[in-house]
């Protein structure tokens, strides 16, 4: 019979929960409440009070073409970086699960990139992908002007996508490998004895059984692509060239801390939060139905 730990007084349980509740209130609910309030007022950049303006900040933002460009860039970045990071991680996890030569080393090494801070990662990729040095400089010598993220918006977007994807390949790899190893070996061996090839076994047996992990990582990667991309953009492109990589999270920073438009930045943060919520609901509503839970 399962034993369950109980407290003699309900107050003890409350005392254990209070520190966590304080952390949630201090670092989530209080800042979120402040952002909502600031988005409905006109904050003075140097202090001195505020003026209630209602939804004027939202109307001003949504009528700005630059902001819609930022939304488009963010959606493109989220879609491509999520797909790239998950696909590479899935392939690496599948190869590692087959116990190929050196798989134990790969299992350890592939986890490391996720532990690197985004600014440090961005600084490394800024040099790696620089058009005047490194690998891309060699490419430019063969095809002059082929790669220049400082002038070409598509190249700049590609560079931050590569950097972000490289960071999250390690994170996705951990979960994919765990999902593969949770599949009973008897299923794989039985399919192999029936004559199924590696690709057929993967598509018909392994892939359906890891769809819960795929769905989980899809939600996490899309969410993080909107939130955890700031450090990479700030170091590598600073939102340029010509706002080609001015993602929503970076625009909040640039408008709020550089442009001193605190109210507008607060309104943008609310829109970003609502967009993430809508995308998450969409995934649970329309994508989860295809998930095969064992």
| pLDDT at residue 158 tops 90 | yes
Number of domain units in the chain: 1
Phi/psi of residue 43, each to 5°?
Answer: -80, 135
**Is residue 285 domain-resident?**
yes
Q: Answer for the pair 35, 265: CB distance below 8 angstroms, yes or no.
A: no
**Is residue 219 domain-resident?**
yes
Q: Which domain holds residue 143?
A: 60-290
**Cα–Cα dist 215/128, whole Å:** 32
Whichever domain contains 200, its CATH number is 1.10.3720.10
Q: What's the predicted TM-score (pTM) here?
A: 0.87
pLDDT in tens, 183-217: 888 888 787 887 777 788 888 888 888 999 999 99
**Cα–Cα dist 146/64, whole Å:** 32
Of 272, 278, 275, nearest to 255 (Cα)? 272
Element (H, E) at 275: helix 262-282
The 3-state DSSP class for residue 279 equals: helix
**Cα–Cα dist 10/133, whole Å:** 64
Residue 204's contacts (CB-CB under 8 Å, 6 or more residues apart) are 191, 196
**Is residue 44 domain-resident?**
no
Q: What is the CA radius of gyration of the chain?
A: 24
* Mean pLDDT (the chain, rounded): 87
**Is residue 14 domain-resident?**
no
49-58, 93-102, 227-236, 241-250: segment of lowest average pLDDT: 93-102
- The number of helices, as runs of H, and strands, as runs of E, in the chain is 15, 2
Q: Which residue has the tokens 């949504």?
A: 62
């Amino acid at each position: 019979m399962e034993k369950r730990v109980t407290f003699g007084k309900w107050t003890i349980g409350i005392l254990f929960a209070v520190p966590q509740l304080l952390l949630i209130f201090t670092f989530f609910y209080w800042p979120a409440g402040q952002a909502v309030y600031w988005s409905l007022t006109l904050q003075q950049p140097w202090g001195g009070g505020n003026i209630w303006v209602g939804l004027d900040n939202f109307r001003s933002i949504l009528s700005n073409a630059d902001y819609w460009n930022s939304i488009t860039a963010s959606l493109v970045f989220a879609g491509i970086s999520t797909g790239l990071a998950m696909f590479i991680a899935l392939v690496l996890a599948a190869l590692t699960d087959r116990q190929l030569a050196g798989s134990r080393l790969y299992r350890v090494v592939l986890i490391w990139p996720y532990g690197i801070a985004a600014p440090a990662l961005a600084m490394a990729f800024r040099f790696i992908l620089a058009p005047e040095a490194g690998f891309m400089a060699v490419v430019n010598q063969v095809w002059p002007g082929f790669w220049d993220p400082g002038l070409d918006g598509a190249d700049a977007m590609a560079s931050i996508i590569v950097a972000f994807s490289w960071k999250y390949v390690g994170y996705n790899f951990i979960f994919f490998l765990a999902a593969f190893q949770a599949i009973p070996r008897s299923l794989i061996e039985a399919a192999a004895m029936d004559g199924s090839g590696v690709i057929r076994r993967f598509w018909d047996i392994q892939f359906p059984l890891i769809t819960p992990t795929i769905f989980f990582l899809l939600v996490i990667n899309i969410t993080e692509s909107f939130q955890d991309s700031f450090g990479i953009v700030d170091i590598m492109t600073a939102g340029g060239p010509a706002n080609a990589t001015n993602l929503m999270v970076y625009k909040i920073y640039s408008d709020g801390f550089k442009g001193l438009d605190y109210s507008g930045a607060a309104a943008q943060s609310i829109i970003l939060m609502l967009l993430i919520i809508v995308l998450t609901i969409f995934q649970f509503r329309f994508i989860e139905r295809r998930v095969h839970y064992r």
